[in-house]
Amino acid sequence: MSKINLTIQRKAIFEVVKEAYDHPTAADVIDRLRGRGFNFAYGTVYNSLRYLRDAGLIRELKLGEAISRYDARTDEHQHIVCTVCGRVDEVLIEVPTDWIAAVAKETNYRIEHAQVVLEGVCETCTNKTQS
């Protein structure tokens, strides 16, 4: 890959994503940038997120929602989404290789990457419904 070019805008956007633990959307990134005194155009933010993704510095997550979320953690891991509040957490348990092999055999696909999105109700929402 060619040299990574982190402009002031890209660096600020990367910092916001890197410091986030909630897998922010582009709109979340824009709001957090404004909170830091930056007022970048929407196009600049979207283009910068795409650049950072293509450079391998962040991951773009499609978690069954209409919008993308962003994650600065680029190592292999999965996600779980609360179906009540939309909270997203990381799952660090590896996807079983025997399951991937069974899927490949059933579908005749050569699987290159597995992204599993689990859905459930988070502890906070579970506690709210029980009280």
Residue 90 bridge partners (DSSP): 79
Instruction: Clarify whether residues 93 and 35 are in a common domain.
Output: no
Instruction: Clarify whether residues 66 and 2 are in a common domain.
Output: yes
Instruction: Clarify whether residues 51 and 102 are in a common domain.
Output: no
Instruction: Clarify whether residues 52 and 106 are in a common domain.
Output: no
Instruction: Clarify whether residues 2 and 64 are in a common domain.
Output: yes
Which pLDDT tens digit goes with each residue over 10-39?
Answer: 999 999 999 998 899 999 999 999 999 999
Instruction: Clarify whether residues 31 and 94 are in a common domain.
Output: no
Domain boundary among 55, 74, 93: 74
Instruction: Clarify whether residues 87 and 27 are in a common domain.
Output: no
- Per cent of the chain over pLDDT 90 is 64
CATH number of domain containing 67: 1.10.10.10
Q: What span, in angstroms and rounded, lies between the C-alpha atoms of 52 and 86?
A: 24
The residue assigned the tokens 């891991």 is 77
Instruction: Clarify whether residues 97 and 48 are in a common domain.
Output: no
Q: What is the mean pLDDT of residues 68-78?
A: 88
Report the b/e string of 78-91 with b at 16+ CB within 10 A: bbbbbeeeebbbee
pLDDT at 63: 79
- Residue 36 sits in which domain range? 1-74
How many domains does the structure of the chain reveal?
2
Instruction: Clarify whether residues 69 and 88 are in a common domain.
Output: no
Which pLDDT tens digit goes with each residue over 78-104?
Answer: 999 898 988 889 899 989 999 999 999
Instruction: Clarify whether residues 93 and 68 are in a common domain.
Output: no
